[in-house]
Each structure stands twice: as C-alpha cells, then as structure tokens.
Chain A
Amino acid sequence: MKKLSARRRHPLAALVVLLFALAAIGGLYSALAPAPKAQADDSSSQSLEITEGRKLFSVGCASCHGAHGQGSSDGPSLVGVGSAAVDFQVGTGRMPAQQPGPQIQKKKTQYTQKDIDQLAAFIASLGPGPVTPTPDQYDPAGGDVAKGGELFRTNCSQCHNFVGKGGALTDGKYAPTLKGVDPKHIYEAMQTGPQNMPSFPDTTMPSKNKADIIAYLQAVDTAKSKNPGGFTLGSLGPVPEGLFAYIFGLGALIAVAAWIAARTTKAKKS
C-alpha cells in the first residue's frame, strides 16, 4: 500500500485510475442492465434471423441509421422501408455507403446473401413495407415484352432512356443504366423507389406489369439482346445517328476525296 501511495503522483496515475473506473462501470452495467430477452423464448428461424440481423445492423448500419433504425442526420429512418429495400440497397452494394455525394454509388456487394436476408428480416420487423419478391414474380420468362415496352416508355423511359441506358438528373444525380442489373433488383427498385427514384407500388403498377417491364429490358438491353439494326450508338435515338452520319460518314468521304486529289499521278513528282 505504501508503494502504491508513493506512486500516486506518477504522471500515469490518472490514466490508471480512469481505466479502473471504466472497468468498474462497465462491469456494473453488464451485471445490472436488463438482459435483452424480447424474442429469446421464440426459437423459430424467423426470430433467429431477426436477432442475427439486429447484430449485423448494430455493427454495419446503426452509425448512420440509428441504433433502432430510426434514422439520424446522416441517414434516413428505415422503419417501414421493408425487406425489398434492404435487399436492393445492400444487394447492389449501394449500402453501406462509401462516401457522401449527390448519389450513393453502386459498388461491390459487401455482405453475403445470407447476411442480407438477416438484415432484411430485422428491418422488416421494424414496420410493414415492401417484401422481397419471389423468383416467379420477377422471372422475365413470364413477362409480355411488348406490353413491358409500352409500360417502360410510359413510366420509366423519361429518366432511364427508352432502352434503359440511364440518363442525367439534376445536381450530379443520375438515373443508372439498367443493363446487367439483376431482375430481382429491378423489381425491388420499382417497389421501393431507392434514393431519388419514385416508387411504383403494386397498387399502381401490379406485379405482372413489373415482370413485363423486366422482360422488355431483358429483350432490349443485355449482352445477348438481339439488335437487327446493328450499331446502336448508345441507343440515344436519331440525333446521334444523324450526327454520326454527318461527322464520320461525310468526314470519311471528304478525307477520301482529299487523299485521292493529294496524290499526283504524274511521272515526275513535284
């Protein structure tokens, strides 16, 4: 004790006391705080998923969306967004967000599908919202391509271009290309309206219409979609086609004419 007392004015003494105090408070808290036992007695897999999802949420999402998904100044409330929104945002890599900006970018997916399902189950438990679709809902094989094209041009083409190539919005925001996007994610985006995209809920655009739209996109804009006309020039319509013909077509003709005239046929080169 004397030894301890002799060192009480040591420069590190305050730090040691602080550590002891923190350990004591932490120990007391873990001993006295009420144990979370909300769904502990329900052993169904659903509640297990929610519990696991809550853990993942606390680690990866709560810093912006709040400890209970209630939102903060850094991220919106997730109450009522539904499992479809989680599956879209995390499944396309948009969440967790990498950096602030006009729009959260698509990037490599950070979670496995199992983790995403658990997160989705937790968020869905916060409030009712759009549910992750089942494969038969978004299967492009079940859609009507012609009807889908009509619906796409009415509802989607204003932002996403008439074959889904994407386009610019205000202040650096943009509608992304739909080429190579998983049909499930296209379906979920229509259901939930991620970021600035408006939603197209089942009440105004029934599930069948969504499958039609996905079938149309598969027909026109994948690496395998057939293109009778050949070079699409970005599918931007007649203006770039005309521009291409004027600049490259006429340009090539002028270049060839100049090339022919620039070479003399005379035997004596001057």
Chain B
Amino acid sequence: MSETGPHNDMAEPEEHLPATRGAHGAEAAVPGDPFADPGHPEHEFRRQDIDEKAATHSERVVAGLFTLSMLGTLAFITSFVIFPVDKYIYVFPLGHVSALNFSLGLSLAVALIGIGAGAVHWARTLMSDEEMPDERHQASADDELRANIEAQWQQGVKESGFGRRKLVRTTMLGALTLVPLSAVVILRDLGPLPEEKLRHTAWAKGKALINPNTNKPLRPEDIPVGSLTFAQPEGLNEQDEDFQTQIAKAALMVVRLKPEDIKDKKELDWSHQGIVAFSKICTHVGCPVSLYEQQTHHVLCPCHQSTFDLSDGARVIFGPAGHRLPQLRISVNGEGNLVAMSDFEVPVGPAFWERG
C-alpha cells in the first residue's frame, strides 16, 4: 500500500519520469535520470496512530476475536464430551449429519478463524507500520571465522587418521557403497517386467463360470435374454492373497442375445445358445465396462465413453478404445454348468507396448 505520492504535483511535464518528491524523496530523484531510486513515500498515519480512542477500539476487536477463538476451543472440547458418536441431527442443506462431526468442525473453524482474524487485525491496525530500510548483510562469513573453521577441519582429519589409516578409510567407503543396495531389495516388487502376465488370466479350459452373487456355477437356463450377469472363474476365492490381481483381469460379463441377433460369426460360434461372455475390462485404459443397454446390446464405458456392440463381436462403435472386448469361448460341461473352453485368446484390457 505504499502509494506513489497521491498528492504529487500533477503538473510534472515529463509523464514517464518518476515524480519528483517533496521533502522525503527529493534527494533521490535526480532530474534527468529516469531510473533514479524514488525513495520512500511519505509515511502516512493510520487512525489508530493518531486517535487513541480508535486504537482502544481496535484493541477490543482483536481481544474479542481471540476470546471468540477461546470459546470455539471450549465448544470443541464440550461437543467432544457431550455428543455420542451415533447422534444425528438435521442441518438444512446437509441433511442428517453426525452431531459430533458437525459441531467439532464448526467449533474448530471458529477457534482457528478467531486466531487468524485477530492476528491480521492486530497487525494491520496496532503494530507499527513504519517503513524501514535495512541493508542485506554479507552472505559469506568473515575471514577470521573461515580460517578458524578450516583449521578445525584440518585438525579433525589429522586426529581421525583418515589419511593415514588406509584400511579404515577403504572399508568405510565400501560399507557406504553397499548400503544403498538394500533399497534394491526393498523396491524389488516394482519389477521385474510383467513378462507373460498381461496375456493370461485365471480362465482355462473347463473352469466353470461362477456367479459372484450366489457363488454358484451359472447354468444356461439361469440366463434369460436381456439379463446381465457377471462371472468369475471357478477356484478364485475372495480370501486369496492375489484375488484382486486375478479378478482385475478375469472379470467377465455374461449376457444372452437371441442367436439371430448376433451378427459376428465367430461370436456366435463362441457362444452357447446365444449366451456370450466378454471381458469386463475396457480395452482403452482398463475401466470396468458394464453399462449394458439390453435393447441396443451396447456396452458403454463410464470413463471415456467407449461403446462396444455386443451383438457384433464387441466391435468398438464409439470412443477411444482401440480393440474389441475379448470374448471368452464358453460351453456347458456334463453337469450342465457353463464352462470356459480356454483362456481369452487375446490379452484383456488396455493395449501395451509389446502387444503387437
């Protein structure tokens, strides 16, 4: 807020030159030097500097804000004590919210805002706002101190025997070099390269399609036209350590189309009585894609709107996906359960460098 002298002589003829100043700025403004240091503007006083009554008022405001903060903290402690964790209250735009969370948040906000606002008001109205120039001190230490430290360092080197006892020095350097190798072991799960993991899933010939809702094998008669069912491979257990890794690749959606609606011959061949099974992982960046519209047979990916036509071999009909959704070839086994005839023939999910 250091104004450039609002009360300067407006009659200054050269408009791009800094305004010459009165008593305070005159010594710096050399006529004819456009880059001269204009110096400090004249200090202006605040009401609180002149009027003691105004200063007292400001003091009370600051004290009031700090007191508000204290009350906020007390309210914070009180609400922590009095509200049980399962008490809910209705607060207009928020709905039924936890009384404890709401009052803790509100009172802590009051406590913090009180301190902040009080400090700002104090600094702006009561603390001195006199402008004071202060030269930067020299960056380097003075010569005497530097010489002293140099001498101490040399003495330390001599006393430790670092230069003389070569065995100590060499083994220390060896130890320091080896220690970082432990990081390689700790971070080893960042690698190695995925190798064939991206090309294979938990599906294999003869593995039954398990309905995750019931944990029972799916049967063709369970799946009417227009329904949507998901499936996971037989033998995959939610308690398994690698369950998430496996299901992330093996997730499957199963729908039944009327066989005459299937336009793609391979899709029809790989189906069972019109039941088709496709990977649920989008071939763009791997979002779960299962927004299935049963009348159009389209599947939409919620992330980037890639749309696949399940009646035409899961062809991409819109969006950024580059590949069809991989189809799983299915059939029924002797017990009448739906089973996979093999793993997916192409990698599931997004493209990767070596996919080819």
Binding site for B on A (CB under 8 A): 151, 154-155, 158-159, 167, 169-170, 173, 175, 193, 195-201, 203-206, 209, 223-232, 260-261, 264-268, 270
B residues near A201, Cβ cutoff 8 Å: 222-224, 227
A32 to B226, CA, bound (A): 44
Which has the most chain A C-beta neighbours within 10 Å: B105, B223, B288, B302? B302
A223 to B292, CA, bound (A): 29
B201 at the A interface (CB under 8 A)? no
B residues near A261, Cβ cutoff 8 Å: 1
B46 A266 Cβ-Cβ under 8 A: yes
A226 B226 Cβ-Cβ under 8 A: no
9 contacts between A and B (CB under 8 A): A158-B291, A170-B318, A200-B229, A203-B219, A203-B223, A228-B98, A230-B94, A265-B46, A267-B47
Range, interface on chain B: 35 or more
A170 B307 Cβ-Cβ under 8 A: yes
Q: Taking A228-B101, A230-B101, A260-B120 as contacts, is the C-beta distance between A169 and B213 under 8 angstroms?
A: no
Which has the most chain B C-beta neighbours within 10 Å: A193, A198, A230, A231? A198
* Closest-CB distance, A227 to chain B (whole angstroms): 5
Taking CB as reference atom, which chain A residue is nearest B102? A230
B residues near A169, Cβ cutoff 8 Å: 291, 293, 300
B298 at the A interface (CB under 8 A)? yes
B residues near A173, Cβ cutoff 8 Å: 293
A residues near B45, Cβ cutoff 8 Å: 266-267
A residues near B212, Cβ cutoff 8 Å: 154
B356 at the A interface (CB under 8 A)? no
A266 B98 Cβ-Cβ under 8 A: no
B47 A155 Cβ-Cβ under 8 A: no
B residues near A193, Cβ cutoff 8 Å: 226-227, 294
B164 at the A interface (CB under 8 A)? no
List 9 A-B pairs, minimum CB-CB distance, nearest first.
A198-B228, A203-B222, A196-B293, A228-B98, A198-B294, A199-B227, A270-B6, A267-B47, A204-B229
Q: Which of A158, A225, A260, A266 contacts B44 (CB 8 A)?
A: A266
B117-144 toward A: CB 8 Å interface, digit per residue (1/0)?
0001000110001000000000000000
A199 to B105, CA, bound (A): 44
A residues near B221, Cβ cutoff 8 Å: 203
B3 at the A interface (CB under 8 A)? yes
Q: Which of B89-106 contact A (CB under 8 A)?
A: 91, 93-98, 101-102, 105
Which has the most chain B C-beta neighbours within 10 Å: A151, A167, A266? A266
B residues near A175, Cβ cutoff 8 Å: 291
Q: Which of B1-42 contact A (CB under 8 A)?
A: 1, 3, 6
Q: Which of B1, B124, B211 contacts A204 (CB 8 A)?
A: B211
Q: Which of B50, B218, B255, B288 contacts A198 (CB 8 A)?
A: B255
B227 A204 Cβ-Cβ under 8 A: yes
Q: Which of B313-341 contact A (CB under 8 A)?
A: 318
Taking CB as reference atom, which chain A residue is nearest B5? A270
B270 at the A interface (CB under 8 A)? no
A residues near B97, Cβ cutoff 8 Å: 226-230
A residues near B124, Cβ cutoff 8 Å: 260, 265
B295 at the A interface (CB under 8 A)? yes
Q: A170-B305, A267-B44 are in contact. List 11 more A-B contacts (CB 8 A).
A: A158-B290, A170-B293, A201-B227, A203-B222, A203-B223, A223-B95, A224-B96, A225-B95, A266-B1, A266-B44, A266-B46
B46 A205 Cβ-Cβ under 8 A: no
A residues near B295, Cβ cutoff 8 Å: 195-196
A residues near B278, Cβ cutoff 8 Å: none
* Closest-CB distance, A89 to chain B (whole angstroms): 14
B154 at the A interface (CB under 8 A)? no
A residues near B296, Cβ cutoff 8 Å: 170, 196
B230 at the A interface (CB under 8 A)? yes
Which has the most chain A C-beta neighbours within 10 Å: B120, B211, B228, B302? B228
A2 to B199, CA, bound (A): 98
Taking CB as reference atom, which chain A residue is nearest B58? A265
A155 B1 Cβ-Cβ under 8 A: no
A205 B318 Cβ-Cβ under 8 A: no
* Closest-CB distance, A29 to chain B (whole angstroms): 39
B253-266 toward A: CB 8 Å interface, digit per residue (1/0)?
00100000000000
* Closest-CB distance, A135 to chain B (whole angstroms): 23
* Closest-CB distance, A48 to chain B (whole angstroms): 31
B155 at the A interface (CB under 8 A)? no
* Closest-CB distance, B106 to chain A (whole angstroms): 10
B50 A267 Cβ-Cβ under 8 A: yes
B residues near A226, Cβ cutoff 8 Å: 88, 96-98
